[in-house]
Amino acid sequence: MIVVMKRGASAKQLAEVIAKIEADGYAAHLADGDDNTLVGIVGEGRGAFQQAEYEALPGVARVARVTVPYQLASRQMHPRDSIIPLNGKPMGGDNVLVIAGPCSVESRENLLEIAHAIKEAGATALRGGAYKPRTSPYSFQGHGEQALKWLAEAREQTGLPIVTEIMDANLVPLVCDYADVLQVGARNMQNFTLLTAVGQSQHPVLLKRGMSSTIEDLLMAAEYVLAQGNAQVMVCERGIRTFEKHTRNTFDLNAIAVLKALTHLPVIADPSHALGLREYVPQVSLGAVAAGADGLIVEVHSAPDEAWSDGRQSLTFEQFAAMMASVKQVAQAIGRDA
């Protein structure tokens, strides 16, 4: 439920509404509407919800029902775009931000080379895997903390904030020591233990859509993080599993448009995983931006064909630089910047 305050409601009236919400066993969530302040009523309270009692409070215009199962993630409860700062730029604002880097961190030298190259091309943040979710237990599982240290060094040299995946709730404190954004991967989108842990961390979270998760599932997963009081969640379309075999996954362009309408959270596109084939990454990136994505996350490597993982979908430096120029053009065509 949402309590919509009257336009001129006083701070005291607002405080009384919040006090009642908490007294009833719920949590209150404040948001600005176009003209009104909204107070979301979240969670399971004591007894049945007494709508009339809230409507009778001074300063209350009306009480509205949230018609979707996610609450904090919904536009209904939070009409304005949420902005998450990334290296001084606002993810979710006028700019289209680009996160780039290797699939996995392979070596210090290689990572630094890539970091400098993507920075020069205009990237906003550096991605790189320290802990890798691999289908096979016998595959390279990532360099772990050593990789985190190299990522931190790359940030020091380039100023680019670090985005890296986390798979183990126990490692949240360690990864937070090094990373700027915690990525939750597609395979863990409904790992509720992990979602709760990253929620408690209060670190920005980049949450990828599971490969067979609906848009609603994705927003419910975001809700797990938000429900821990961590408002800094970005959601990411990275392709879903379908019958199509030519590409690794299917990039659901509808999802970009629908997510922008249903949620206030920044929406990011990952064309690299959606395609699995680097030659199409620039076109799909442009499509995602034109459809309204707030950001991109793409895999870039100094020598893709020698990459330890995901080489087939990683851009070369040249491809990435060319793509960045086009992204800028398309962003401007829809009134944004990149």
Within 8 A by CB and 6+ apart from 265, the residues are 73, 82, 92, 222, 233, 234, 235, 259
Q: Which is nearer to its own copies, 37 or 272 (CB)?
A: 272
- The span from the CA of 331 to the CA of 325, in Å, is 10
Residue span binding its own copies (CB under 8 A) among the ranges 81-89, 91-99, 218-226, 311-319: 218-226
Identify the helix (H) or strand (E) that includes residue 58.
none
Task: Read off the tokens for 129.
Answer: 């895997």
Partner residues linked to 299 by β-bridges:
101
Closest approach of its own copies to the CB of residue 101, in Å = 22
Asked if 49 touches its own copies (CB under 8 A), the answer is no
Residue written as token pair 């090094």: 178
Which of 147, 167, 205, 206 is the binder for its own copies (CB under 8 A)? 167
2 binds its own copies (CB under 8 A): no
Cβ at position 120, least distance to its own copies in Å? 23
Query: Which one of residues 28, 255, 268, 300 is an interface residue with its own copies (CB under 8 A)?
Result: 255
Q: Which of 4, 64, 66, 291 binds its own copies (CB under 8 A)?
A: 291
Q: Does 251 bind its own copies (CB under 8 A)?
A: yes
Contact flag: residue 207 with its own copies (CB under 8 A): no
Binding residue (CB under 8 A) for its own copies from 52, 137, 156, 305: 137
Rounded to a whole number of angstroms, the minimum distance from the CB of residue 249 to its own copies is 8
Nearest distance in Å: CB 272, its own copies: 12
13 scored as a contact of its own copies (CB under 8 A): no
95 vs 302 by CB, closer to its own copies: 95
Give the Cβ contact number of residue 259 at 10 Å: 26
Residues of this chain, 73-132, that bind its own copies according to CB under 8 A? none
Q: Which positions from 172 through 191 interact with its own copies, judged by CB under 8 A?
A: 187-188, 190-191
Interface pick for its own copies out of 25, 69, 159, 229 (rule CB under 8 A)? 69
In this structure, what are the phi and psi dihedrals at residue 310, rounded to the nearest 5 degrees? Answer: 60, 25
The yes or no reply on residue 47 touching its own copies (CB under 8 A) is no
Sign for the pseudo-dihedral over CA of 314, 317, 320, 322 = negative
Cα gap 123→117, rounded to integer Å: 9
CA-CA distance, 246 to 87, in Å (whole number)?
A: 36
203 token code pair = 């670190």
87: left (phi over 0), alpha (psi -120 to 50) or beta: left
DSSP state of 202: T
Among 120, 279, 306, 318, binds its own copies (CB under 8 A): 279
| Sequence letter at residue 283 | Q
- Does position 5 interact with its own copies (CB under 8 A)? The reply is no
> Does 253 engage in binding with its own copies (CB under 8 A)?
yes
CB of 88 to its own copies, least distance (A): 26
Angle at 125 between CA 121 and CA 130, to 5 degrees: 120
Residue closer to its own copies (CB basis): 86 or 220: 220
What is the C-alpha separation between 208 and 113, in angstroms, rounded? Answer: 27
